[in-house]
Amino acid sequence: MDKEKELFFLEEELEKYQKVVYRIKNEGVGYTFKHYSSFEEIEDEEFHNLRKNLIDCINLMDEYLKNKIDDLEEKIEVNGI
């Protein structure tokens, strides 16, 4: 591959990652990775593994917070506070 083509592909790849960072700054991490896009245009196995792990952690935190809130609301209701 000649240098001009290589530079073109590197710049294209850079732009893809810059778009992810831009979206995170504007939409937040959770929305960006869970709802905005699956980022199929990025052909990077590590990126997608990390994205999946992040979504799993976000889901775990969502579930933990929901359960914690439900538990505390129930305790407050039972104690008549």
Residue-wise pLDDT for 27-45, tens only, equals 999 999 999 999 999 999 9
Distance from C-alpha of 44 to C-alpha of 10, rounded to nearest angstrom: 13
Distance from C-alpha of 13 to C-alpha of 52, rounded to nearest angstrom: 20
Alpha carbons within 13 A on the beta-carbon side of 37: 13
* Predicted local confidence at residue 42, as pLDDT: 96
> In terms of pTM, does the model score above 0.75?
yes
Backbone CA torsion sign across 59, 62, 65, 68: negative
* Predicted local confidence at residue 79, as pLDDT: 87
* Predicted local confidence at residue 43, as pLDDT: 95
Report domain extents, the chain.
Answer: 3-78
Q: Residues in the chain with pLDDT < 70?
A: 1, 81
